[in-house]
């Protein structure tokens, strides 16, 4: 399963993030890391179900990838 990052949009309630985590688990995914500096998490999630999270108006969904500094 691909890894995705899910972050809470500005103005959304903390309950919306909990709802997104529950949605991941309900659809066969697994939360693998919770962020401490921002409200969000990384999850392994079935690629064919990512569109269901992307339709959530309260979170942003991005593919997890390596970030490098120069």
Distance CA(11)–CA(21), nearest Å, equals 18
Q: What is the pLDDT of residues 6-47, one digit of tens each?
A: 999 999 999 999 999 999 999 999 999 999 999 999 999 999
- pTM over the 0.85 mark: yes
pLDDT digit string (tens) for 47-65? 999 999 999 999 999 999 8
Which domains are seen in the chain, by residue range?
3-43+50-63 (3.30.70.80)
H helix or E strand, kind and range, residue 54: helix 50-54
């Amino acid at each position: 399963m691909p890894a995705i990052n899910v972050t809470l949009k500005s103005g959304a309630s903390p309950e919306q993030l909990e709802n997104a985590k529950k949605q991941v688990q309900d659809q066969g995914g697994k939360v693998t890391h919770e962020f401490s500096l921002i409200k969000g998490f990384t999850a392994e999630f079935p690629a064919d179900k990512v569109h269901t999270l992307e339709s959530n108006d309260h979170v942003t969904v991005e593919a997890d990838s390596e970030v490098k500094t120069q």
